[in-house]
Amino acid sequence: MAISADQKMDLLVSLCKRRGFVFPDSEIYGGFANAWDFGPYGVELKNNIRDAWWKRFVYGREDLVGVDTPIIQHPKVWEASGHLQNFSDPLVECKRCHHRFRADHLLEARQAEPGYDKEVPVDIKDIKCPDCGGQLTDVMNFNLMLKTFIGVKEDTAAVAYLRPETAAGMFTTWKNIRDSMRQKLPFGIAQVGKAFRNEITPGNFIFRLREFEQMEIEYYVHPDDAPRAYDMWLDEYKAWVRDVLKISDDHVQYREIPDEERAFYSRRSIDPEYQFPFGMKELGGLANRGDHDLSNHQRVSGEDLRWFDQEKGERFIPYVIEPTWGLTRSVLAVLSEHLDIDEADSVEGDKEPRMVLRFPPNLAPVKAAFLPLQKKEELTAIARKLSRELKSRGINVEYDESASIGKRYRRQDEIGTPWCFTVDFESLEDGKVTVRDRDAMTQERIAIDEVPDWIQEKLK
Ligand code: GAP
């Protein structure tokens, strides 16, 4: 069933709250703007994406190792990386209502207006406050790093920063990995974790937050090898989006970022963009950071961060190719991509709309549900036993005996459970249960003893 983009966003946000994916944070205190709690199904979905990523790249390849470095690092890290000086967004403020906006977003919005001649450059001075029509200030650079204080005195000597990207720790730990892990170039370091940015205009649900998660790889190469490695990671990125997130090619584009938009550390960037309900927007990134990070850390720390190629007798600072994935943003993309409304049989025998999350099974928060047709001991015992067996195999499943079978199916459809197993009175005679497929809505009977292996096989 066709859903408009506006409807889709409203449906998603309300479904996420109603079904325990994402809740507004601090709601008992009236909420805290742009902060969200991941509920029981949201955290499963997020962890499943993270685990699929770790398995594919860290376990699946021989040229990557994983690390976990601190959120708060030595303040010199940010001086060396250039973030203290350069990690800022252009800000304008309304002189009347004092609302703040990103100047680049206002320019983008103006250029997207129907009939706007894209050849005519837009001047921010010609734009009025979108909220009250007031005059805007000149553009100011606003540093996005969130500050904190370490120790008992809040003086400038104690200032520290929450990392704005997980990347930094993978540069500062480079020397230790180089010296301990017996890797040969090219090889990479991977990390998943929280990052923090004092965004000027957070919003669009969990799309732009002040606190979010990233999955990043810093892949070290000989400078001459950088173009090949860049292309290799672009192919890897595309395969991940298509084969793991199961995002349709029609909903994604890979945009070459022009010089004036590129991050200060990047020589080349391509952003994978996804067709979110509110527009085609950045999902992740692929940057060639050159020797920017290691050269600067070498300069500021005084440590030798070069690689020594024994065969060639050559010492050099490796280049870094950086594919980066927004984990929190990937959750939103996966929810949006797989949300669908179709029709199912109602209890009265006619058709009714059905909301369904068609997650790929390995990403689904719950893999299977066990539903006794009635709350009778002989049926519930079989369903509970199956549920316990699957849980003991580390597979997240649910047992549910509440409400009518139709309502229980709808609930599982709405949280994206691929298979529902119903135990009925026939099960007592033929030793079989009915498995209903979420997408095809077909039903087949399989032997009770075979259910655990059947599910495990399907998840491979
Ligand atoms: N280390 C490179 C780096 O951090 P970035 O393009 O600034 O590059 C990478 O961020 C990804 O992190 C983005 O593509 C996006 O998916 C995610 N991200 C960045 N800022 C975010 C925010 N405020 N809220 C949610 N996700 C964000």
Q: H helices of 94-173, where?
A: 103-111, 167-172
Q: Which domain CATH number covers 270?
A: 3.30.930.10
* Distance in angstroms (rounded) separating the CA atoms of residues 258 and 170: 26
Q: What percent of the chain has pLDDT over 90?
A: 87
| Structural domain containing residue 385 | 366-459
Q: H helices of 248-305, where?
A: 292-301
What does pTM read for this prediction? 0.94
| Cα dist from 350 to 347, 409, 412, whole Å | 8, 16, 20
Whether 184 and 313 map to the same domain: the answer is yes
On whether the CB atoms of residues 301 and 76 are closer than 8 A, the answer is: yes
**More reliable by pLDDT, 341 or 227:** 227
Asked whether the predicted pLDDT for residue 347 surpasses 70, the reply is: no
On whether the CB atoms of residues 383 and 372 are closer than 8 A, the answer is: yes
Spacing, Cα 300 to ligand 1 middle (Å) = 26
Widest Cα–Cα separation across the chain: 79
Spacing, Cα 122 to ligand 1 middle (Å) = 26
Domain membership of residue 115 (yes or no) is: no
State residue 302 phi and psi, 5-degree precision.
Answer: 80, 5
Cα-Cα-Cα-Cα torsion 234, 311, 223, 322, nearest 10 degrees, comes to: 40
- Ligand 1 pocket by Cβ (under 6 Å): 165, 167, 197, 199, 208-209, 212, 214, 216, 282-285, 322, 324, 326, 328-329
Domain membership of residue 85 (yes or no) is: no
Q: How many domains does the chain have?
A: 2
Domain membership of residue 318 (yes or no) is: yes
Nearest residue by C-alpha to atom 5 in ligand 1: 285
Residue 460: both structure tokens together: 């491979």
Whether 297 and 216 map to the same domain: the answer is yes
Q: Which domain CATH number covers 381?
A: 3.40.50.800
Domain membership of residue 389 (yes or no) is: yes
Whether 271 and 404 map to the same domain: the answer is no
Whether 57 and 204 map to the same domain: the answer is yes
Q: What is the mean pLDDT of residues 418-423?
A: 98
Q: What is the mean pLDDT of residues 80-85?
A: 96
Spacing, Cα 78 to ligand 1 middle (Å) = 17
Q: Which stretch of DSSP H or E encloses residue 146?
A: strand 146-149
State the pairing for strand pair 211-221/319-326. Answer: antiparallel
Expressed in angstroms, the distance from the first to the final Cα of the chain is 30
Last residue of a domain, one of 334, 352, 384: 334
Q: Model confidence over 134-182: pLDDT tens digits?
A: 999 999 999 999 999 998 887 777 899 999 999 999 999 999 999 999 9
Domain membership of residue 411 (yes or no) is: yes
State residue 247 phi and psi, 5-degree precision.
Answer: -90, 130
Asked whether the predicted pLDDT for residue 225 surpasses 70, the reply is: yes
Whether 303 and 422 map to the same domain: the answer is no
Domain membership of residue 382 (yes or no) is: yes
Q: What is the mean pLDDT of residues 389-416?
A: 96
Spacing, Cα 287 to ligand 1 middle (Å) = 12
Last residue of a domain, one of 313, 334, 355: 334
* Distance in angstroms (rounded) separating the CA atoms of residues 297 and 80: 5
Residue 277: both structure tokens together: 């309900």
Whether 385 and 328 map to the same domain: the answer is no
Q: Given this model, what pLDDT does residue 116 score?
A: 82
Domain membership of residue 128 (yes or no) is: no
Q: Which atom of ligand 1 is nearest to the CA of 285?
A: 14
Spacing, Cα 309 to ligand 1 middle (Å) = 34
Asked whether the predicted pLDDT for residue 370 surpasses 70, the reply is: yes
On whether the CB atoms of residues 45 and 363 are closer than 8 A, the answer is: yes
Nearest residue by C-alpha to atom 14 in ligand 1: 284
Q: Given this model, what pLDDT does residue 350 score?
A: 78
Q: Which atom of ligand 1 is nearest to the CA of 327?
A: 16
